[in-house]
Structure 1
Amino acid sequence: MKTAAFSILFFILLALSKTASSDYPIAPEFKLPTQDTPIRLSSLRGKLVYVDFWASWCRPCKKSFPWMIGMKEKFKDMPFEIVAINLDTDKNLAEQFIKSQAINFPVAFDPEAKVAEMYGVEGMPSSYLVDPQGRLRIRYTGFWNKSKNEKEAAIKDLLQKMKTNQTTLF
């Protein structure tokens, strides 16, 4: 009888201890080379991170870069970072495109698509919002005008919640 009561109490306490923040999975950790120094997702803890998977052959991916550059500039005074992860097997193709843009965020290289696989990338571009605690908040596949507005609204909302110290409440 005591064992049954203890088991029931244990499961009740376990259920009560579950918080809303645990409803979001932890983003897979990565360490990837960039044009400068390697970047780790964990080094960006405390910031809202927009992780974007792209390739030079992907037309919508290329169209997303001016928007990402604009978002980085718009939120430059906020705890916000963008990491673009290129999946080209030939790094030169990516570098040619990078040189044509005024990119203001790190571009990492994942030519074997190991990180893309960890994130479950199914289409291009695929992007993810990772909250300051390292949790995957939102996933997007594709890039079009409507998605720009949705993505910007999500970024603004999460940054506002961070500003008002509500990051563990949502």
Structure 2
Amino acid sequence: MDKKKRRFYVRTLILAILVVAIGYTIYTTATKDEVRLLKVGAEAPDFSLVDLDGQTHRLSDYKGKGVMLNFWGTWCKPCKKEMPAMNNQYKVFKDQGIEVLSINQAQTVFEVENFISDFNLKFPVVIDKTKSVTRAYNVNNLPASIFIDPTGKVVRVHEGELTEEMLAEFFSSIKPE
């Protein structure tokens, strides 16, 4: 094969790869809003994560209770702002059948321990090291909170910072009868 033909085929291949890459980028950008958090009414996917004390937390272990899953990172300013409100409302609702499971986004134990200590958090905190739970719940933005009723159904999905008033309302809506 002469140089001109080889150059033509290489350029054609590169052009085809570029067209596919651009097409894929346009498609994923256009459909990004369709890949949202888990839908209200859906069964919450079960998972198992370990907290900093080595205790395993499975969502299925919380059946019969209202559960808030809160996805966060130590670098996230709205996450930091909502933690005191979550801690306060957890103290109010924990004896009423409400559980909070705080899911950190693949940070180090050291970072998470310092964060917990800074905010004196009283609810379980787990680290999603592989982000498998984050993917299962289609979480893209932090903070994100999923509210699950005692039967395991998702009743509310919230992206963004939560206030004490919002938490009180949302916790009341998932309290066991």
What is the TM-score when the length of structure 2 is the normalising length?
A: 0.72
| Equivalence for 2:92 | 74
Q: CA distance change for structure 1 residues 66 and 38 in 2, over 3 Å: closer, same or farther?
A: same
* Aligned with 1:97 (options 88, 92, 115): 115
Q: What CA deviation, in whole Å up to 9, does each residue of 1:59-107 have, x standing for no partner?
A: 1111111011111111132010000000133232111111212211100
**Which deviates the most, 56-65 or 46-55?**
56-65
Q: CA distance change for structure 1 residues 144 and 42 in 2, over 3 Å: closer, same or farther?
A: closer
| Secondary structure of 1:29 counterpart | coil
Report the Cα offset of residue 158 of structure 1: 3.1
Distance in 1 between residues matched to 2:99 and 2:174, nearest whole Å: 13
Q: CA distance change for structure 1 residues 144 and 52 in 2, over 3 Å: closer, same or farther?
A: closer
Q: CA distance change for structure 1 residues 100 and 150 in 2, over 3 Å: closer, same or farther?
A: closer
- Aligned identity (percent) is 31
Distance in 1 between residues matched to 2:85 and 2:115, nearest whole Å: 15
| Equivalence for 2:146 | 128
Q: CA distance change for structure 1 residues 120 and 54 in 2, over 3 Å: closer, same or farther?
A: same
Distance in 1 between residues matched to 2:120 and 2:110, nearest whole Å: 17
Q: Alignment length, in residue pairs?
A: 137
Say whether the 8 Å CA contact 2:72–2:79 is kept in structure 1.
Answer: yes
Are positions 1:35 and 2:45 aligned together?
A: no
Structure 1: stretches of 5+ with no match in the other structure? 1-22, 164-170
Larger radius of gyration: 2
| Secondary structure of 1:77 counterpart | helix
Distance in 2 between residues matched to 1:142 and 1:91, nearest whole Å: 24
| Equivalence for 1:25 | 42
What is the TM-score when the length of structure 1 is the normalising length?
A: 0.75
Distance in 2 between residues matched to 1:106 and 1:66, nearest whole Å: 14
Distance in 2 between residues matched to 1:35 and 1:97, nearest whole Å: 12
Q: What CA deviation, in whole Å up to 9, does each residue of 1:97-140 have, x standing for no partner?
A: 11212211100110221100100102000000011111111100
Distance in 1 between residues matched to 2:67 and 2:162, nearest whole Å: 20
Structural RMSD (CA): 1.5
Q: What CA deviation, in whole Å up to 9, does each residue of 1:12-52 have, x standing for no partner?
A: xxxxxxxxxxx711101110010120110010100000100
